[in-house]
Each structure stands twice: as structure tokens, then as C-alpha cells.
A and B are shown apart, each in its own frame.
Chain A
Amino acid sequence: MPFESFFYFLGEAFKSLYRNRWLSIASVGVVAITLLMLGTFMAVNFNINHMAETVKNQVEITVQIDDSAGVEERNQLRQMLVAHNSITEVRFVSREEALNRLKEQLPPGSLDGYENPEDNPLPDSFEIRTSVPEEVIPVAKEIEGYPAVEKVLYGEGTVENLFKTTTALKIIGIVLMVLLAVTAVFLISHTIRLTVLLRRREIMIMKYVGATNSFIRWPFLLEGLFLGLAGAVLPLLVLYYSYGAALQWVDAANLTFLSLIPLSTIMLQLFKYLVPLGTGLGVLGSIFSMGRFLKV
């Protein structure tokens, strides 16, 4: 395409967007609303997954050491844990430290009478983390067979449920996202189709006066691109401000345990999906809807 023509096509695209401004506004509106729905759902879904991951990453294994085990056995256990491929962190927690932690967690005075170290019922232990949260269960089972181990605690039952829930949430999220995306594709491509359909007279006249197909196609293609782009940028702006407000609200309400994804990260994610989806559908919608009319 010659440089001169490009500016002609660009000019034509803008002129025709203006000439058909009501149709343009309606198309942008449909694209924007559809992508806003998709974007909102994606933001919620990304955050649910993020929270689930955060919770999963907090899961750790406590290996209680047999009181009767000697120094050598304890060292051997430590070495085995450190050498394990799936274990990334091993921390020794003495029985005194364990008791202090318990004191902090329980209401004051609950542990009165346990001040004497001799009365401390808690054992020494190793706290370990695995590289992947899903490995907690097999690793815990394996460690149970190690020497000097009295008990392995990892929240049996709760962890399995947590993993099941997060997997289910992920699948539901993906299914809903795909459904919404399909709806978006359908709605957007039909809207673009309508803009082309309403202008078939123009296309037909172009054909009769001897315009080449590419000459006819370019302005429509650029129009589709602009409609799609505008339809993607608008929901991104809305999401930017509303997500920012949501973050502030969570902050103000002291709900920090909700650990939401930061604004810049989520916007980048949404940008990556919504802009190509909007512009791509705009362009493809234009190309496909024009095909029929170009055959005159």
C-alpha cells in the first residue's frame, strides 16, 4: 500500500466513522459493554485465583521430633529434609518458641501453669515448605517414615479440601471466561457485520465504479480496528478507576488479608486480553462481513 493511500484510507475511515456516527457509537457501546463484562469477570477471577494461590502457598508441614531422639538422629533428619528435592525451606522451631507462639495466639492467661520449661508439652519441630503447594501431601506422607519423627502435621483434610476448592474455582473461572469470551466474539462480530451491512450500498457503488477490492477493504478494516480499539479502551478505563477504588476501599476497611492483585499488574493482564480481542474482532468482523458484498 503506498504511503499516500494509507493517509487516504485513514481519512476515509475517520470520515465514515463520523458520517455514521450513531452506528459507530452503538458499535463501540456494544463492544465496550461486552468487554467490560468480560474484563470485570476476568479481574474477579484473577483475584480469586491469586487469593487461592496465596492461601495455598501458606500451607506448611510441621515435623514434630521424637523427644527420645538423640542429637545425631536429629541432625540426620535435618539433613534428609534439606536434601529433599521438593523441600525449599527447613526451619527448626524449639519447644520454647512453639510455646511462645501459642501464647501469642491464645487469649492471655490461657496457658497459665505452663511457665516451667519442664511442663511444656510441646515437642521440638521442623517447619518445612515445599516448592509447589500441591506437593505438601506426598511429602508429608514420605516424611512420616523418616527416623526421629514423632508426627507430621499439615492440616490433613483441610489442605485436601483447600486444593479441591481452588481447583474447582479455577475450572469454573475458565469455563465462565470462555463462555463470556464466546459471547463477546458473537456480539462484536455481529455488530461490526451490521455496520458493514448497512453500508452495502456504498460497497456496491464502489464495485461498479471500478474500485479494487483492497481499496474497498482498507477503510472498512481500519474502521473495524478503531471501533474495536475504542470498545476495548473504554472498559479498560472504567476498570482502571473502579479497580483502583476497590483497592482503596479494601485498604480503608482493613481487609488487607484479602491480598488483591496490584492495579498495574491487573491492568497489564486485562490490556493483554481485551485490546487484541477488541481490535482483532473488529478487523476480522469487517473482513468476513465484507466478503459477500465484494463478489459483485
Chain B
Amino acid sequence: MVETAGLYQRYDNNSDYVLKNINLTINRGEFVFIVGASGAGKSTLLKLMIREIAPTSGTIKVFGQDLKRIPARRIPYLRRNIGIVFQDFRLLEERTAYDNIAFALRVTGTPWWEIRRRVPRVLEMVGLKDKERCRVCDLSGGEQQRVGIARAIVNRPAMIIADEPTGNLDPDTSLEVMNILRDINIQGTTIVVATHDQEIVDRFQKRVIYLEKGRLVSDEKKGAYIRAL
């Protein structure tokens, strides 16, 4: 699903490499935590996976497509297969939960009847069925993140990439959000989560990739944050 080989990344020619010689493979159906201190390169790695940036050198393939060579017009279609969840939710705050999710379907050209069928279903999946008509700005942080997840899964992507999805949430709410992601994973969707929430990583016992100063220093199948260190 994701394959990197000798991946290097830096933001301009004079700066240091943010990622150095990353070689990893993420298979279909996996649940992967990417951990490391701030500035370790977690977010950069995720940005490369959604082709927000192009690699400086080395290769990164997602769904078998070489993202260094992918034509710009193909990028939107790549992203339709990846659901993205952000730490700061990135929702349209003045609009309702329903609208936010429908928006992701509308802008990818889904017909209205399909939108009407799918949106309530994903809202139910994330436990927000009764909040359909609430404006996002009136929802709690945890509820907002659930809207974010619902938006990420509504296009039925093969993979979900979440960048610090619990970064703005309290521990209980974080757990709820992670449980939703785990449930989605059980149904077969690949999940990649960048986090430095040690408690979550330890509790879930999933694969843990540890980055330090841009290098991949450990990759454990059923890891914990502590062991990764």
C-alpha cells in the first residue's frame, strides 16, 4: 500500500534533511503508529504519502503509484483513495456536520442521492447520528474530530492517514476517537496515525514505527511507545 526506498526529504537546498533514508512498507489492512518527538519528521512523512510534497530523492509508492512521477492532474484521484484526519480537524465551522461530510462527496462529483444515502450512514458509524444538523462550531472537540473521521471515510478510501488526531483532545475523548479508527481498521481500511500520545500507542499494541531526527530507528510489529524508544 505504501512503499518507500531510500527516501530523503528536505524543504530547500540549504536546509538539513527532515527525512533521511527511510525504507518501509505498509501493507493493506495494517494499523500503523508513526511516533517520535516533534520535528522527527512524522508530519513530513504523511505529507509525502498524500503527495502534498514531492520527495527530494528516493522513491515513495502509494497504491503502486510512484509519487515522484505522478502527474499533477492524477493527484486528486490518489487523494480520493486516502482519508485524511487532522489534529486541528480542518472543518468548515459555520456549516453543519452533515454539510461538512457531504462537501467531501460533492466536490468529488458524487450524485446527490448517493450523498443523501451515505452521509447519515457514516455519521452513525462515528456515533453522531443525532448531531447531523448541528453546526460544527457548536460541537465539542471530540465530536468535531469524529466529524473529521466521518469525512475521511465517506469516500470509502483504502487508507486513512491521521496526523496527531488526538492532539487537541482530552484522554477519554482521545480513546473514543482511536476506538473509532480501530473499528474502521477492523473492516479492512489501512490506518496510519502519527502521534506522540504514549498512552494510546501502548494501549493499542499495533505496529509502531519510531522516527528520530529524520531517521527510522525502530519498526516493531506489536510495539509500544516505550519499547520503540
In the complex, B28 has a CB within 8 A of chain A? no
Count contacts on A: residues with CB < 8 A to the other chain: 19
Assess whether A210 is in contact with B90, with CB atoms less than 8 Å apart: no
Question: Contacting chain B: which of A24-32, A169-177, A197-205, A275-283?
Answer: A197-205
In the complex, A211 has a CB within 8 A of chain B? yes
Question: Contacting chain A: which of B76-84, B124-132, B177-185?
Answer: B76-84
Of the listed residues A206, A207, A211, the one surrounded by the most CB atoms of chain B closer than 10 A to its CB is A211
Interface size class of B (residues with CB under 8 A): 20 to 34
In the complex, A215 has a CB within 8 A of chain B? yes
> CB-defined interface of A110-146 with B at 8 Å, one 1/0 digit per residue?
0000000000000000000000000000000000000
In the complex, B138 has a CB within 8 A of chain A? no
Interface on chain A toward B: helix, strand, loop, or mixed SS? helix
> CB-defined interface of A282-296 with B at 8 Å, one 1/0 digit per residue?
000000000000001
Pick the contact of A209: B52, B73, B79, B94 (CB < 8 A): B79
- In A163-207, which residues have CB < 8 Å from any B CB? 201-202, 204-207
Assess whether A201 is in contact with B92, with CB atoms less than 8 Å apart: yes
Assess whether B92 is in contact with A202, with CB atoms less than 8 Å apart: yes
In the complex, A101 has a CB within 8 A of chain B? no
- In A48-86, which residues have CB < 8 Å from any B CB? none
Q: Which residues of B contact A208 (CB under 8 A)?
A: 50, 79, 84, 90
In the complex, A248 has a CB within 8 A of chain B? no
Q: Which residues of A contact B104 (CB under 8 A)?
A: 205, 209
Assess whether A212 is in contact with B76, with CB atoms less than 8 Å apart: yes
Assess whether A215 is in contact with B155, with CB atoms less than 8 Å apart: no
Assess whether B73 is in contact with A212, with CB atoms less than 8 Å apart: yes
Q: Chain B: residues with CB nearer than 8 A to chain A?
A: 50, 52, 73, 76-81, 84, 90-92, 94, 103-104, 106-109, 151, 155
Q: Chain A: residues with CB nearer than 8 A to chain B?
A: 5, 8, 12, 19, 201-202, 204-213, 215-216, 296
* Given A205-B103, A212-B73, 6 more pairs with CB closer than 8 A: A5-B109, A205-B91, A209-B155, A210-B76, A210-B81, A213-B76
